[in-house]
Structures are given as C-alpha cells and as structure tokens.
Structure 1
Amino acid sequence: MSNLADMLVYADINQLHKMAQLYQCECNSNSKHELIQAIMTTIHSKDTLEKQIESMSLAELRFVNSLLFEINRSYSLEDLLAKAQQSNKVVPITAETDKVKSQQQPRELISKLRHRGFLFNGHREQTKYLFHVPRDMQHSYQAMLKKKFAQQLTYTADPALYRDEQRLLQADITITLQFIKEQDVMLIADGSMYKRYLTALLEQLHIEEQLPTKVAWRFGYGRHFTHYPDRFSLLYDYCIAQKYIAEQVTGNLTLLAPGELRLLEDKEVQAASKWKAESMRLYVHWMKVYKKAIPNMPSLVTWIVQLADQWVTLDSLEAVLLPYLNDFYYEQSTDVFRKRIVKPMIHLGLLRYGEIEEAGTVIKTTSLCKTIVH
C-alpha cells in the first residue's frame, strides 16, 4: 500500500484534473507536476479534509468506512461495486427520522472517491485493473472521523460497580467439555441436544441464559443458533470448529482427542499466554461466523475499540455508529448493534460494562481488547 504522493505520480491526468477541480486548486492545469503539488498541499490541509467529510453523503461515508481499516488490500471493480451497493442500504438514523434513504449508484460512489483521491488504479500491468487506497489518506480519514464521532459521545466517570467477563468464556469451555465427557449426551434429529441435557449444562455455566422461545426467528449466527442461546451458541460453535467435540451420526455428542487435550491443558490455559491465545481464537471465530450477517463488522468493532477507551454511554455510542449498520432480516439495526456486536464483545472479555443511574449502561474496552483487535 502506497501513500498519496506515490499514487498521484502514476494517476491519469484526467483524474488529476477532476481532483484539482474538486479541491479548487489554483495552478497550471497543463503541468502534471504543478497539479500534483497543488493537490498535495490542499488535500493534506486539516480544514480541507474536515470540509470534505462534512460534505459527504451518508452513502459515501458508509462506503469510505468499509475501506477504512483494511490493510494491504487491492480491490477489483466487482469488490468495490459490492461494497458500494452495501453502502446504499436503507438505515435508521434517529427515533425522530424513522428511515432515511441514501441511494446513489455504486459506480457514482466509486467515481466520487476517485475524485477525492481516496481510490486509485494500480500503475503496473498486473494491477492496472485493481483499485488501491493511499495509506496516508486512510489514516487521515480515520483520524478525522474519530474526532467527529468523539464529539458526539457522552463520556462519564467510572461506575461504582462494573462487570468484566475476561476468562469466563474459557472457563465455560472447560465446563462444557467436562460435561460432554461425563454424560452420554443425546442429540435430536436436527442435531441439537435434548432439552434436559442442554438445561443441565446451562445451569453450570458462569453466565445465565434462557433457552430461545420457539416463536422467535433465529438464524444467521451459527449452526445451532436456532436452538441454543446466544453465548452458548458461540461457545458450542467454537468447540465444533476446534474439533473438541463432534456430532456423531449415531445421535451422540462426543469428546474428541483435541477436546481431551484441552481438558488436560486447562490449568495452562489459565496462564497469561495460553489464555490470550485462546481469546484470539475465540475472537477470530466470532468474527468469521457473524461477519456473514454483518459484513462491515470489523470496522464497527474497530470503532468501538477506538471510541470506548474511556467509560462511554452505550446510547451515545449506538447513536454514532448506527448509521453504518444495516438491519438483518428479522433484527433491527439497534438489536444487531447491541446483541450481535456489543454483547459478544462483553462475553469475549473485550468490554467491561456497568450502570450509572443518570447515564444508563456504560462500557469501556479492556487491555485484552486492545491487544486482540489491534
């Protein structure tokens, strides 16, 4: 990934003219060198970038956000069209404004970012049909948007009491594996546990959860999300993915050799290095499973990490980030934000949460969060 200066050198003269016109550069338009110098001087001005961000439509901001935290990426036109189309979805903004439509043609969005100097074609034969984001522009937009978002947040003093679930998910993995080892856990036809086994296991775990109601629409967040409560569904899927357990065709749930080893290493898992390594695997698994339903989840998680380094109200954080989030079929974007992003981050030990009487729910990142997400 190169910086803006490098990409301007190889940019098409027509793109330079469009950029100079957008940024109102005063220079000799027939001189590529002068065009580049004028664009560089103007575009790296703090006031210029702030004005650019303020002038962007919601669809443009959502499109920029989808590219903001990706590293060393080259994008085909098809990649960008898909991201641009995703950025056009109808999203809720506030309680007063029920739905706001921000429809712009995907190719128009791509063209606008090229004129702003945020996207460039590659200059080599093998990359000329690919698009790239200048590294310094990426960082500048991150800084400007962070400042814009932070100004809208409500930061608070420390709550009198707060909850921190670090290590609890790992402890419950151990409990689950031990339960499966000791019990002859039977599965029903859809592959989920009989209710008596599931209820008995849930009662042993550190975080209490209720079984999903049969009338609830539940899909999109894992193999047995339909049958299991949210946190346990994530834990169970992780154990399957790690080959700790297996659903046998005979209708039994059995502990496999890696699961046996995980039980034997339980004391080591509690040590700092092993514990953090498993935390990383859990985080990656959560991201992999949930990203199918929430394509821009990585950028939203990164924003939470950057903006919640102090105690901040959940309501104000939600108001800032909700425009960048879509509904998912049966779930409103508010539920997606709170239940599918913030709540799992708490369970993974990435966020602490507490209550302040006048402010409501407040959250703050943990040191583990910064280590893992960064």
Structure 2
Amino acid sequence: MNLSDMLSYADITQLTRIASVYGCECNGNSKHELIQSILATVHRRDVIKEKLAKMELEELRFVNYLLFETRKSYSLEDLLARVQQCRFPALNEVQNTNTSVAEEKKKKVKPKKATKQQVIELTPREIIAKFKQQGWLFNGYAGNDRYLFHVPQDLKERFKITLAEVLSVAIERGTQPSIYREEGGQLLLDLKVMLNYIATYKPNVALDGTMHRRFVIQLNELFAIQEEMPGKGAWKFGYGKGFGEYPDRMAFMYDYCFSKGWLCIDGDTVDITKTGEIAKDSIGNQEMQSIISHWLKLYKGAIPNINSLYYWICSLSKDWTTIKSFEAVLEPYIKPYYFDSAGAILHKRIVKMLLHFGLIAIGESEQGIVIKRSVFGYKMVESLQTGNNKH
C-alpha cells in the first residue's frame, strides 16, 4: 500500500503526531485535512533530504535495509533484530576510539565522562517508535496484521531516489581507462566446463562434498577466468559449498550447480545428474538472472544488506567511477563478517562478483581503480527497481 492508503487507516491521534513532526499547519480535528497536509509535506524531496541528513548512521543503515527488503510486512521482533544488527562501529569510528584510548593512556588521565550535550543513543524500540512518528512505519489494520509493520511503497521509492542523490554527491567520477576488464558471459561458459569436467572425470570428494585439490587445480586451469588457489588455512564458512577449498568464483559456481540439482554426491565422488546433462548443453544467457538471485540469497547470511550494496554500485556507476569513493560511501554500511573486514566484503564479495557476472567493468585510470556498469548491469538495476528480480 501507498502512504495515502496507510494514513487513511491511521487514527486521528497517530495522524496528529505525524503532522506535528513535520510541522503541518491544519485543522487537527479533521482527519481529511491532516492526511492532505501530511501527504503534501512528506512527499517533498527537500523534506526527505533534511530527514536523511539528521539521521544517525545506524538509522541510515536501517532505512537502507527497509528500502531493499522485498517483504511486505515485519513483526516487531524482526525490526528490533534488524536495528540491533545495524549497530556496529564504522572503521573510522573504531580508529578514532583506539586513538583516543591510546592518548588517554599516555596522559594517564581518566577518559572524559559523557556530557549532557552529547547525543543520547536511542534504543531499538525508540528508533522504531521514531520511524512510526515520522510516518515511515505503520501497523496493519485488520486481524493479526495489526501486530505487523508495513512501509508505504511510494515512500520507499521516494527515499530511494533521494538517497541516491545524496550518495551520488560523494561519488567521484574518473576518466576512461585505456584498458579495462569485462567478463561478460564467461561465467556461463565456465559453468559448462565444470559440468563437462565432472561428467567426464567424476572427481573424488572429501567428507564435506568438496573435490580433492588436484581436481580443483585441473578444473581451474580449464576455466576462461582462472583464480588464485586458496591457502590451506583458509576459513570455510559463510559463502556456500566449497568456499575456502576452491577459489571464490569456482566455489560459487559449485554451490549453484548443487542448488539447481545439476550435481550430486555419489559415494566418494561427485557426478552430474540427468538434469545437469541437459543443462550443460543448454545453458544460455537467461540463466544469469537465476545466478545473480542465487548469489544474493547465498551471501545474504554473511552480508544482510547485500541487495542495497548491489543496487548502489550498479546504479551509481553509470560512468567510470573511482572505487575509492565507493569505499568511502558504502563501507560504513557494511558490517564485518568474522575474518572479512568491510573493505574485504566490498571488494571480494561484491565488486569482484559483479565483475564475474558481467554487471560491471573494471580498469585503472589516473584516479586509481575505476568501475563502470555494463549494459547488462543497467538492465539488472532496472529489474530491481521494478521488482522483477526477486530473491
């Protein structure tokens, strides 16, 4: 539902509270006037931009989550958990904290106590209440739906447009590199190579279902896009079947083949299925959307806001853009995952995979490493905007 629909179901007390937040001047006893005044104010781009500018970082992270979540409703527990997940220090905050502690130790004085002027951190419940007062979250109006929360669809789109404007200001455009890398449909070709190799050699597997290292090395050498082999002490969780044993791209492909039912474990070997036999001769460009959806689903456990990161990189890189500016803009929104720092997640789990999927091109110019979305990347962003790419 849109904002106008949700306002029509709200009681006059909630409408009065929302109108007060936005400074609406109208007859507080008229529900119709309250709704019209709120709609006229809330939909203004300058108002949304002002609200975004006043938000704390964790609130911006929470907004970012709501904008790209495909769910229609949320329980209170869902929202509380998400707000809690949005609470982590950005890299510069960690560095500043460490510096302050070191300085305090050198001076041998006690750290300063919080002053009254310092911002008091809101609890997750208070943040949700604040969003309700702003008219960004509404309860349902009938049955069990009354205990669930909803975000107005049209407001989500306006927030997305305005946030894009805010983020784009910090994005630095670069010059076109003389040489750049674009992988296009190489992933599809290598999927066929993987299926054919496994069908031919039926590699031995360990107890966890991963191929023995010599088979991995042989397969990697057959790929059009070859990767560095992981070290023996690499960690092996969070990013699917084979992660840590195979190079990242190969691990993703291996996991995808199992998810599609193209491969199966047969005793101590991995073999191709009947479905896989058909697939290895018929994989086409239409498979890419399914591949990207699988990536978003597979990596979401480790990177809860992967949808938004994918969207912002592809939508903000219509021209050659420096990766350094993306680091500055997006890393504060990325929560480290075990041994993956925010920077590692951005580069290894997002940008590198977007390159493998043919969504972006990467090169090096005077400004350093630059990226630009491909024609296919543009189409996929459009499908995200229209809701056709669900995961």
The alignment's TM-score, normalised by the length of structure 1, stands at 0.91
Q: Secondary structure in 2 aligned to 1:353? A: strand
Q: 1:264 corresponds to which residue?
A: 281
Q: How many residues align?
A: 363
Q: 1:181 corresponds to which residue?
A: 199
Alignment of 1:162-241 (within 5 A): 162-241=180-259
Quote how far apart the aligned CAs of 1:33 are.
2.6
Contact 1:352-1:365 within 8 A present in 2 as well = yes
**Distance across 2 between alignment mates of 1:252 and 1:128:** 52
Where does the alignment leave 5 or more consecutive residues of structure 1 unmatched? none
**Distance across 1 between alignment mates of 2:201 and 2:312:** 43
Q: Does 1:292 align with 2:307?
A: no
Q: 1:75 corresponds to which residue?
A: 74
Contact 1:353-1:362 within 8 A present in 2 as well = yes
2:316 is matched by which residue type in structure 1? L
Contact 1:22-1:115 within 8 A present in 2 as well = yes
1:257 is matched by which residue type in structure 2? K
Q: Secondary structure in 2 aligned to 1:203? A: helix
1:166 is matched by which residue type in structure 2? G
Q: 1:323 corresponds to which residue?
A: 332
1:13 is matched by which residue type in structure 2? I
**Distance across 1 between alignment mates of 2:299 and 2:251:** 12
Contact 2:263-2:272 within 8 A present in 1 as well = yes
Segment of structure 1 superposing worse, 91-100 or 102-111: 91-100
- Structure 1 residues 103 and 353: CA distance shift in structure 2, 3 A: farther
Q: Does 1:369 align with 2:348?
A: no
Quote how far apart the aligned CAs of 1:305 are.
1.8
Alignment of 1:1-374 (within 5 A): 2-71=1-70, 73-93=72-92, 97=96, 104-249=122-267, 251-265=268-282, 269=283, 274-275=284-285, 277-356=286-365, 358-373=366-381, 374=383
Contact 2:336-2:342 within 8 A present in 1 as well = yes
**Distance across 1 between alignment mates of 2:147 and 2:230:** 48
Percent identity of paired positions between Structure 1 and Structure 2: 40
**Distance across 1 between alignment mates of 2:236 and 2:207:** 18
- Structure 1 residues 46 and 178: CA distance shift in structure 2, 3 A: closer
**Distance across 1 between alignment mates of 2:143 and 2:280:** 53
Quote how far apart the aligned CAs of 1:103 are.
5.3
The alignment's TM-score, normalised by the length of structure 2, stands at 0.87
Contact 1:309-1:364 within 8 A present in 2 as well = yes
**Distance across 2 between alignment mates of 1:4 and 1:206:** 50
Deviations 1:137-165 (A, max 9, x none): 11111111100000000012322121111
Q: Secondary structure in 2 aligned to 1:285? A: helix
Q: Secondary structure in 2 aligned to 1:62? A: helix
Quote how far apart the aligned CAs of 1:248 are.
1.7
**Distance across 2 between alignment mates of 1:13 and 1:264:** 62
**Runs of 4+ residues over 4 Å off in structure 1:** 93-103
- Structure 1 residues 214 and 71: CA distance shift in structure 2, 3 A: closer
Contact 1:153-1:316 within 8 A present in 2 as well = yes
**Distance across 1 between alignment mates of 2:12 and 2:313:** 39
Quote how far apart the aligned CAs of 1:102 are.
9.8
- Structure 1 residues 340 and 104: CA distance shift in structure 2, 3 A: farther
**Distance across 2 between alignment mates of 1:47 and 1:189:** 58
**Distance across 2 between alignment mates of 1:165 and 1:77:** 43
Q: CA RMSD in A?
A: 2.2
Q: Secondary structure in 2 aligned to 1:118? A: coil
Q: 2:112 corresponds to which residue?
A: none
Contact 1:88-1:103 within 8 A present in 2 as well = no
Quote how far apart the aligned CAs of 1:212 are.
1.1
Q: Secondary structure in 2 aligned to 1:185? A: coil
